[in-house]
Amino acid sequence: MIDFNKIFPDWTLKIDEISNNVFQFTSTNNHGNQVEFTDSDYDSGIKRIFCETFDLEIQICKETNKLIFDTFSILLDNSLIKYKKYESEIFGSWIIRLKNKRIILDGKESILSLEKKKGLLSKDWNDLKSIQIREGLKYEDIEMIINEI
């Protein structure tokens, strides 16, 4: 399980068992924004608090592309990452390179892409998935891309 505060350093997470097997999940950021709900399934509640906190953070965050880059960097196993670079001066564009796949965010066009190398020695890449992030990126989209890797 990923540490909540690694992805959301400006947020606190509180989980209380308010009744037998009923949990109240509350995440609050430094500005008072809050996500709160109850769930009778602890594991699905943990997944949901990550999703809903990310979905709120991406709406209020000033550096959306950096948040997405940091989230992928944390969720991917460091042994998988061969190269990564964030370019704040190029509209927040970035790349995370794995062995034969890469995740790219084109900051100017606001397109997040997962690509696969055409061949072992090839310098060309095939697009596997592309998401227009202006239409709204969700935590589930990030999980979907990671599951493709």
Q: What is the pLDDT of residue 1?
A: 63
* Largest pairwise CA distance in the chain: 58
Q: Are residues 56 and 76 in the same domain?
A: no
Residues 34 and 97 both lie in one domain: no
Domain count, the chain: 2
Per-residue pLDDT, 41: 96
pTM of the model as a whole: 0.87
Structural domain boundaries, residue 135? 64-148
Pairing of strands 125-132, 101-106: unpaired
- Answer yes or no: do 72 and 54 share one domain: no
What are the CA-CA distances from residue 66 to residues 15, 19, 42, 62, 126 (Å)?
Answer: 28, 39, 30, 9, 24
Which of the listed residues 60, 82, 107 is the one where a domain comes to its end?
A: 60
pLDDT per residue of the chain (149 residues) written in tens, 0 to 9: 678 999 999 999 999 999 999 999 999 999 999 999 999 999 999 999 999 999 999 999 889 999 999 999 999 977 789 999 999 999 999 999 998 999 999 999 999 999 999 877 778 899 999 999 988 899 999 999 999 98
